């Protein structure tokens, strides 16, 4: 997290994180005492801001992964779809619990390997024969690889490999697109593209590992906060204003001026995040938000917009998002002529 203090006020940027009590306790006490409004604005990671389910803690999710491994053959090769930073805690726990290092293919995952070697290199190995644990790529190649490997093991009469995907995205939507790895599959899979034309409701328990139709075991390992965790965190932080840093995350109003940067009423291609600069008492809809956590349509402006850099990789797999434009002139903490940084 980043904390800024100056003539513009006191701003907290949560970055890409899960706002647990342990995380908040790293802040200076005056910002979590609940006495007064020490923070003028919080830029909040709302990736799962619309998720009301209770997510297990990181420690609980790690135990689910270990139980899943213990419940399968000790001869099975274990593939962990952990190809993002933030999952090294889980990898280290698995290595320590089972007394084996984890193999990572330096050719297939070279970029992730370079990052992982900086933060946690002790439990990695380049010798695939010395361990039964391997880091593998997640979406979009995981599901086809799992099906092919399981089919081959059946044909050979060998122990079926175990594929585990520690991620909260599979659990986070009550309605998922039926397609590659997006839920419990009832029909034949297709690998031509992500998603499909039909929607259906999927409910899965987050308290234990769940196997999908591709043979992949899912564990709700979340690196982002659910709505409930965000609300608890904001009660402690008590900021004057909250701004979502996450596009199209089902953002809601958390008792403050939280705005969805991608309101459904706006046309595709030009989205603006506007900081609200009027008190709650002057707006009837905002008054209602103090007692009812409801979404409120954003007010939109089009002048002095600063375009963000284009992403080479979308935020959520193949879910495409338009380039965001932020109205710098109206965002607290940004100074300079015409909203320059």
Any idea what DSSP says for residue 169? Answer: T
pLDDT tens-place values along the chain, 341 residues long: 899 999 999 999 998 889 988 888 888 888 876 665 688 999 999 888 877 888 899 999 999 999 999 999 888 999 999 888 888 899 999 999 999 999 988 887 777 777 777 777 788 888 999 999 999 988 788 999 999 999 999 999 999 999 999 998 888 754 333 333 333 332 333 333 333 323 333 455 678 899 999 999 999 999 999 888 998 898 888 888 888 888 654 444 444 444 444 344 333 332 333 333 333 333 333 333 333 333 333 333 333 434 444 444 433 333 333 333 333 343 444 343 443 33
CA 280/CA 294 separation, integer angstroms: 14
CA 219/CA 107 separation, integer angstroms: 27
150: part of which helix (H) or strand (E)? Answer: helix 142-156
**Strand pairing category for 41-44 and 133-135:** unpaired
Q: What is the pTM of this model?
A: 0.64
Handedness of CA 29, 35, 37, 38 (dihedral sign): negative
Region for residue 290 given its phi and psi (left: phi exceeds 0; alpha: psi -120 to 50; beta: otherwise) = alpha
Q: What share of the chain is helix, strand, coil (3-state, %, to 5)?
A: 25, 15, 60
Domain ranges of the chain: 2-53+225-301, 58-219
Tokens of 236: 């402690």
CATH 2.40.128.120 fits 58-219, yes or no: no
């Amino acid at each position: 997290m980043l904390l800024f203090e100056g003539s513009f006020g006191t701003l907290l940027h949560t970055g890409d994180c899960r706002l647990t009590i342990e995380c908040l306790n790293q802040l200076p006490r005056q910002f979590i005492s609940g006495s007064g409004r020490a923070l003028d604005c919080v830029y909040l990671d709302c990736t799962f801001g619309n998720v009301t389910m209770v997510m297990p803690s990181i420690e609980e999710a790690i135990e689910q992964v270990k139980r899943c491994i213990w419940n399968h053959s000790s001869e099975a090769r274990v593939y962990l779809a952990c190809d993002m930073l933030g999952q090294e805690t889980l990898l280290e726990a698995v290595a320590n619990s089972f007394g084996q290092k984890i193999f990572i293919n330096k050719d297939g995952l070279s970029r992730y390997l370079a990052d992982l070697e900086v933060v946690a290199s002790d439990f990695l190995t380049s010798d695939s024969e010395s361990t039964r644990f391997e880091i593998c790529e997640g979406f979009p190649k995981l599901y086809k690889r799992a099906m092919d490997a399981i089919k081959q093991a059946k044909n050979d009469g060998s122990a079926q490999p175990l594929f585990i995907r520690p991620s909260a995205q599979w659990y986070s939507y009550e309605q998922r697109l039926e397609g590659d790895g997006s839920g419990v599959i009832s029909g034949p899979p297709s690998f031509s593209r992500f998603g499909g034309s039909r929607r259906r409701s999927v409910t899965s328990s987050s308290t234990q590992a769940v196997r999908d139709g591709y043979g992949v075991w899912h564990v709700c390992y979340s690196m982002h906060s659910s709505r409930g965790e965000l609300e608890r965190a904001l009660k402690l932080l008590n900021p004057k204003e909250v701004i979502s840093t996450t596009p199209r995350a089902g953002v809601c109003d958390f008792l403050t001026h939280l705005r969805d940067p991608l309101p459904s009423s706006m046309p595709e291609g030009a989205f603006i995040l506007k900081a609200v600069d009027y008190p709650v008492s002057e707006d009837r809809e905002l008054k209602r938000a103090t007692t009812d956590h409801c979404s409120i349509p954003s007010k939109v402006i089009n002048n002095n917009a600063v375009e963000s850099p284009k992403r080479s990789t979308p935020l959520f797999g193949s879910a495409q998002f338009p380039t965001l434009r932020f109205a710098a002139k109206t965002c607290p903490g940004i100074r300079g002529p015409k909203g320059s940084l």
